[in-house]
Amino acid sequence: MSRSERLLDLIQILRRHRRPVSGHTLADEMGVSIRTLYRDIATLQGQGAPIEGEAGLGYVLKPGFMLPPLMFTDEEIEAIVLGSRWVAKQPDKRLATAATDALAKIAAVLPDDLREDLDATTLLVGPRSESAEAIDLGVVRQAIRDEHKLGFLYRDAGGSASERLVWPFALSFFDKVRVMVAWCEMRQDFRHFRADRMSGLTATAIRYPRRRQVMLKEWRATLGAPGQNGATETSG
């Protein structure tokens, strides 16, 4: 959980209590140390949240407090809309729906003038490209989040097929193709796999032995290194 999410959760917990609640009770409910709780209370107070009380006496949020509306510059709104519209055009249906829903949620909490700017932006996304992908990219994204191995059948550019078991840690979105970046157990190296050449995708519950952030960092280091197959192949 990010710090901003934790602060929002703290606000919601305080809203549930009409009488002062002790710091230790709040810390236990949040799953944080009492020192972290005191820092979070001070942060919220510094940002204008009307939290009354002090250590040893308890805390209470005065009634009527509302989080300030989201504020964006014109270019920030354009970036949000353009990005959401682009994702909504992608063949990953679950991600496309999530982009549309997220944009609607943002619009619901914007002030009226900014909501009008959001609806009236003239940055458009072209028609969705035809995709020959037969796999569910949502399964790939879930495996990346869970750090679980994936199995599938892969056909290279020449049509040769091979069964792969990989450790997926990134997914790249291009206009006409999606590419999964993974450590391939068969090749014992980083490989790029085009989603339109994958079939028979099998999600496993096997956690791979390394953290995806570490592999992402190591893979990026290979991109500028000559002779690194993992950085140049999309044929697997």
> What are the extents of the domains in the chain?
3-61, 74-120, 137-232
Output the pLDDT for position 236.
64
The architecture that CATH gives domain 137-232 is: Roll (2.30)
Tell me whether the CATH fold assigned to 3-61 matches the one assigned to 137-232.
no
**What does the block give as tokens for 147?**
């750090």
What is the per-residue pLDDT for 223? 87
Tens of pLDDT, residue by residue over 143-165, are 999 999 999 999 998 999 999 99
Whether the per-residue pLDDT at 41 is higher than 50: the answer is yes
Q: Are 80 and 88 in contact (CB under 8 A)?
A: no
Prediction pTM value:
0.65
Region of poorest pLDDT, from 88-92, 129-133, 175-179, 188-192: 129-133
For the domain made up of 3-61, give the CATH fold: Arc Repressor Mutant, subunit A (1.10.10)
Please classify residue 112 by burial: count the beta carbons closer than 10 Å to its beta carbon, then call 0-12 exposed, 13-18 middle and 19+ buried.
exposed
- Predicted confidence (pLDDT) per residue in 113-131, tens digit: 778 888 888 888 888 766 6
Tokens of 40: 């979070």
Q: Which pLDDT score is estimated for 120?
A: 83
